[in-house]
Amino acid sequence: MNKDSALELGKILEPHTITGRILLSIFGLGILSIVIQGLRHISPAPIGDEYFYVQFAQNIPKNGLYYEMVHGNPIGYSLVLYFFSKIGLSVLTAGRVLSLLATIVVFAELCVIGRKYFHLSRQYLILAILTSLFGIVTSGNYIYVASDDMYYTAFFIWIAVYLWKSIDTFDWRKFAIAGALLSCTLLIRPLALFIFPVCLMAIIYSAYFTHRKLSKKAIPILAYISAFGLFFILQQAPSLVKNGRIALENKIPDSVGTRVNWVQKNELTRILKERGEKLDEGQLASWKQCKQYLDIHGNNSLPSNVVERFFRKPIRSLKYAIIGSCKIFYILLRHTGFVFLFLVLFLIRPSFISDRKIAFFEAFCISYLALYVFNNQDHVEIRQLIIPIIFITFSGVSLLQTMYKDGNKYAGVLSFVQLCALLFILLLDLGFYFLRTADWIYYC
């Protein structure tokens, strides 16, 4: 294959070509079929975390907004869910519709961001959107269930882009605004406490390659930290005054009390798996099992935080961190295709650092995944990888386009490989693996 024909492969998704129309029709019908399949099999009763979000929304008219804020109700989501249900839907149905609408908004935003900030041409924007679709739609039921995953994503991707654009000028006021906005998303879900240090690491990494005086870089970073902290304290003021502690979204049943947390639950899950004992919740130990274990073995029998867990058994922690890393590697490769490998290439190709946009988002993703593994070890939830999936996809496709514009003879081939990967992902999720087709295709 010569250079010219290889470059032509980069235009294979152009909608005005016959090949482009055929491919886009296949992908569109396939994704629509997967969405319909998910909607057909959705539970009429709350599943998983839906129970908590429905309860959060129902508690607002019962107890009042102030009381719910004091007790950790994520009103940034539950209040919207409550008002949305007033159009005549049940809270559960309203939550599911809200998730679907939020997903549509996310992809509309990605179209704008891809063109305006990543400067993707039409065919590469289509490639990025398709890859993101597969990364999100085929990775679980997060677009159909009453949860805040896609709702939160719709807000955060704009904060991330705003923060990245702020690095161009290192204006401390923009960094302060970004920190304040990120802190306000704690009203939706506590993920912001996890993302805050991740963004900080991405900022510091990008600042290292910015030719400015140290003071010019330090002041904006301090402004970002201070604004986040200030708005965090303001949000938590009602709880701090009334209860003397912070109150974030809490999905631990009241019957368990305050002795058990998620670190202990995950740790007990590993202990029971190693012993070959039954897990009440299938893949996880139940809260009841955690309480019983602490009652029998004492309150210090399970580590209360990730640092304590590591220092108690560092080798064991490392083992499960490696297992978790392998799981994440598979999930990203399984749901994003070839472009995920650009995350690896970024580590070994310093020339990519010259593109500060890619440097920021890739550093964000690497920091996010590293901190995620340290915190969760082998307990990986795909819904918590939605944000890095989006940024990995757009960074990878942006690099593909850069290679194409630079006349790299492999750019077209790599784009074609990505399309083949997406087709394979589509076949897997339609149930065509080893020529076995899912019955629902024929018996709808």
- Return d(Cα 144, Cα 99) in angstroms, integer: 6
Cβ distance 152 to 98 under 8 Å?
Answer: no
- Return d(Cα 230, Cα 180) in angstroms, integer: 8
Q: pLDDT at residue 154 above 50?
A: yes
Structure tokens at 214: 């140290």
Taking alpha carbons only, the member of 149, 164, 170 closest to residue 48 is 149
DSSP secondary structure of 361-407:
HHHHHHHHHHHHHHHHTT---GGGGHHHHHHHHHHHHHHHHHHHHTT
Look up residue 117 and give its DSSP letter.
T
Structure tokens at 176: 């302060």
Taking alpha carbons only, the member of 305, 203, 310 closest to residue 260 is 305
Interval 1-29: pLDDT, tens: 444 444 455 567 777 778 778 888 888 88
Angle subtended at Cα 35 by Cα 30 and Cα 40, rounded to the nearest 5 degrees: 125
Look up residue 271 and give its DSSP letter.
H
Angle subtended at Cα 94 by Cα 88 and Cα 99, rounded to the nearest 5 degrees: 155
Helix axes 149-166, 75-85, angle to 10 degrees: 130
Q: pLDDT at residue 444 above 60?
A: no
- Return d(Cα 4, Cα 2) in angstroms, integer: 6
Interval 27-68: pLDDT, tens: 888 888 888 877 777 778 888 788 889 999 999 999 998 888
Structure tokens at 36: 């319909």
Per mean pLDDT, which range of 174-188, 197-211, 332-346, 347-361 is the poorest?
347-361
Q: pLDDT class for 408, splitting at 50, 70, 90?
A: confident
The single-letter code of the amino acid at 424 is F
Q: Map tokens 């009453």 to a residue.
A: 146
Interval 95-124: pLDDT, tens: 999 999 999 999 999 999 999 988 898 888
Q: What is the CA radius of gyration of the chain?
A: 23
The domains of the chain are located at 3-253+313-441, 262-304
Per mean pLDDT, which range of 126-130, 220-224, 381-385, 434-438 is the poorest?
434-438
* Predicted pLDDT at 243: 80
Structure tokens at 79: 């209040």
Interval 213-224: pLDDT, tens: 887 889 999 999
The single-letter code of the amino acid at 126 is I
